[in-house]
Amino acid sequence: MENTQITVACHSQATYQAADPTDTRPTRARRWRGAALALGLAAALSLTACASNERPTSPTDSPGGDSLSGTINAGGSSAQTAAQEAWRAGFQSAHSSVTINYDPIGSGPGREGFAAGAYGLAGSDDAFKLADIASTEFTLCASGSGIVEVPAYISPIVVAYNLPGLSDLNLDAAVIAHIFTGQIKTWDDPAIAALNPGQTLPATAITPVHRSDKSGTTGNFTDYLSQAAPNDWTAGRTETWPQDLGGEAAEKTQGVRQAVSSAAGAVGYIDASQATGLGVAALVVDGTPVAPSAAGATRTVAASQLESGRGSADLVFAINRTPSEPGAYPLIMVSYLVACQQYTDASQAALVKAYLAWAVSASGQEAAAANAGSAALGSDPTLAARVGEAVDSIR
Amino acid sequence: MTGLDLIEVDSPVTGSTGSSLAPGRAQALWRSSQPLASTRRQRRRRIKDRAMTAALAACALIAAVPLVSLLWTTVSHGLARLDPTFFNQSMRGVAGVGGGALHAIWGSVLITLAATALAAPVGLGTALWLVECADRSRSALTSGLARAVRAVVGVTAGIPSIVAGLFVYALIALVAGPGYRSGLAGAIALAVIMTPVVESACEEVLARVPGELREGALALGAPQWRCVTSVILPTARPGVISGVLLGVSRVVGETAPLLLVAGFTDSMNLNLLDGRMASLPVYIYSQWQNKGVQAAAYDARAWTAALVLVALVLALHLTARLSARWATRKEH
């Protein structure tokens, strides 16, 4: 604003001269402006209009033998972002005329967007509830079509803490519940000390950090607490953190990460892939501490059953948070890809089917594991077959 | 300050003694005490002056600290990925390390240009109507309307950008369905934010065009439209240009509305009308928010994009300032 006024105050006279029709000499201003314009234009032109990584590959290059083209707009779980990035990168490299976009706006909005027709595919940390499937009109699905839900992203959630100098920490569900409900207030609490014999724990106050937004991570975290320590955690499974419990709130995974890494004594729960640089607690299961790992997550999935009463292409796990198998890490999230079983648009169906098939394939799972630190779906042949059948049923 | 000091130094009558009359003596004593008191007062004033100057200079320094720190942080973090790849690749097919922001740079340029094409004529037109028509009209209705328009422009200038984004989102969702995203929608949202900026800048410029120029043109028999196109607009042109540039630099860093209505994509898209279009601010946001395991690569891309964006905004500001200075120079 200030600029403008100066300009104005100084200017009127000046341009009055410049506007004199008898004066045809280029004024200094005009020359300068011309030069600036030329410079800007040169800068703009030096930006090529074609990205060097987007040169179309010849059809023989692509393993898909390429008949696919078009766009999938997908959205949902923010936990899946890095995995989606890996799937997208692989798929788009193989199919040069396919574009896939993924909006990591959260599982709830992703499911709503899918139902409303904004997304042709949703990523969700929570499957649709059976009642919702019956009552929802899925805009992009043909009438009478069911939906396909396949597990595609399995990842450990870690309890991350910031205690300089303390690299090993064991916690169990009851202690975590007490920390997050504010009953355990300092790190040298006897309950924590009992799980960590031989460790010198500091008297630092504990700052529990939770997600302020509705989140699948919170859902899985509270599900773990309510199954593994039902007497200590009474709030049940919830995607929205219970407000009356207190603690510090932070938005999304990066917010929690930031909050934990900036305050000594802070502790929070985040996706394992995002915990680099923070202390990560091992969970005590049946008296044995289990550090979070992809293999441990896979074991928990193996010990869990699919929910009953769902359609044959609706593969949803009821995660067993108290697995008896040794080495199973129970605080995990299983995130799903949600699609129509029958689309009204056949070309969208072909795209979604191909993309889903790649995402759940062994190489797709490997790509996700490399970029997102997730666990592969596992080698259970029955599960792999059922997932394959579900994807194959997309029309 | 200097003027006051001089008066103080000059005025006291020094060395007057002798009068035995009490009042006179008192007066003389008072006078003889003057030089001392005056230097003391002078010193006090000088100290106050220095202190205030220092305090104000400190304020100016404090105001500059965030800018310098911001520039330093952005440059020091952003240099790592300031390589040719960043400017000739998109993020298509990239997971983890590598990739660039060409698609986002193009998106920002195209969306901002389209927003300018929408906002500049409307803003300038509104300003012209207010200054050249409404303010000179004798009709009560017109001046009432002008007051209303000014009020609306003032309010629009204050609405948060996310609200502008939501407005356009709601508008477009009504017409094109909920999943629709496009560069043009982003441009419309930015134009909503930009129009009042351009309008108030242009209004100031137009109002300062000397009345004599108008009168001269009209006296020579020019109709009003000719007066506007041949006299007023050329006179106000540099001011209008810098107003528009200020509007552009106001919107080029907007994230929220673009996130809502232009969306994000990994791939190049040069078509404003069809499909999602990335932009630099949204690129920064998504790189920071959605990191994979190799988080450093995402951070580095975000910083470099921030550096490019800051450079862009500074360049625009500089152009606006320079265009003002060029016009000033011609006067001398």
B200 vs A contacts (CB less than 8 Å): 1
What was the pLDDT predicted at B320?
A: 80
Euclidean distance between the first and the last CA atom of chain B, given in angstroms as a whole number: 31
Of the listed ranges A36-45, A163-172, B6-15, B17-26, the least confidently predicted one is: B6-15
pLDDT tens, position by position, B212-225: 999 999 999 999 99
Low-confidence ranges of chain A (pLDDT < 50): 1-24, 58-64
Encode pLDDT of A100-112 as tens digits.
999 888 888 899 9
Average pLDDT over residues B95-100: 87
Task: Judge whether residue B32 has pLDDT over 70.
Answer: no
Q: What is the pLDDT of residue A35?
A: 63
Reported as a pLDDT band with limits 50, 70 and 90, residue B7 is very low
H-type alpha helices, B159-289? 161-176, 183-207, 211-219, 224-226, 233-251, 256-261, 280-289
Instruction: Mark residue A252 as left, alpha or beta (left: phi above 0; alpha: psi -120 to 50; beta: remaining).
Output: left
What's the token pair of residue B90? Answer: 């998109």
Cα A18 to chain center, whole Å? 59
Whether the per-residue pLDDT at B169 is higher than 60: the answer is: yes
- Nearest chain B alpha carbon to A77: B290
User: pLDDT at position A181, please?
Assistant: 93
- According to the model, what pLDDT value does residue A179 have? 95
B contacts of A15 (beta carbons < 8 Å): 234-238, 327, 330
C-alpha distance from A287 to closest chain B C-alpha (Å)? 31
Beta carbons of A54 and B200 less than 8 Å apart: no
Interface of A with B in 59-78 (CB under 8 A): 71, 73, 78
Rg (CA), chain B: 30
Q: What is the ipTM of this complex?
A: 0.73
| DSSP element (H, E) containing B128 | helix B102-128
Residue B39 pLDDT level (bands cut at 50, 70, 90):
confident
DSSP-assigned states of every residue in B142-162: HHHHHHHHHHHHHHHHHS-HH
CB proximity under 8 Å: B 102-121 to A:
102-103, 105-106, 109
Q: Could you report the per-residue pLDDT of B129-147, keeping only the tens digit for each?
A: 999 988 888 889 999 999 9
* Sequence letter at residue B1: M
Instruction: Please give the structure tokens belonging to residue A370.
Output: 């490399």
> Could you tell me which of B283, B278, B318 has the C-alpha nearest to residue B304?
B283
Q: Is the pLDDT of residue B6 over 60?
A: no
Is the Cβ–Cβ distance between A135 and B299 less than 8 Å? no
Residue A3's pLDDT is: 36
Give yes or no for A88 touching B (CB within 8 A): yes
The 8-class DSSP code of residue B248 comes to H
Please state the rounded mean pLDDT for residues B243-261: 90
Please state which architecture CATH assigns to domain B84-331.
Answer: Orthogonal Bundle (1.10)
Which residues, numbered 272 to 301 in chain B, qualify as contacts with chain A under a Cβ-Cβ cut-off of 8 Å? Answer: 275-276, 286, 288-295
Q: In the prediction, which pLDDT does A90 show? A: 92
pTM of the model: 0.78
Instruction: Tally the residues of chain B.
Output: 332
Identify which of A10, A17, A104 has the shortest CB distance to residue B328.
Answer: A10
Q: Give the residue among A122, A111, A104, A119 at the shortest CA–CA distance from B286.
A: A104
Q: Which of B270, B286, B282 is nearest to B309 (CA)?
A: B282
CB-CB under 8 Å, A16 with B242: no
Per-residue pLDDT at A56: 57
Of B99, B106, B264, the CB nearest to A47: B106
In the prediction, which pLDDT does A376 show? 82
Q: What is the pLDDT of residues A372-388, one digit of tens each?
A: 888 888 767 788 888 99
**What φ, ψ does residue A388 adopt, rounded to 5°?**
-60, -45
Q: What is the pLDDT of residues B55-64, one digit of tens each?
A: 999 999 999 9
Length of chain A: 395
DSSP states of B7-69 as a string? HHHHSPPPS-----SHHHHHHHHHHHHHHHHHHHHHHHHHHHHHHHHHHHHHHHHHHHHHHHH
Q: Where are the domains of chain B?
A: 3-32, 40-81, 84-331
Compute the nearest-CA separation of A346 from chain B (Å).
Answer: 18
Residue A162 tokens, joined? 């910031």
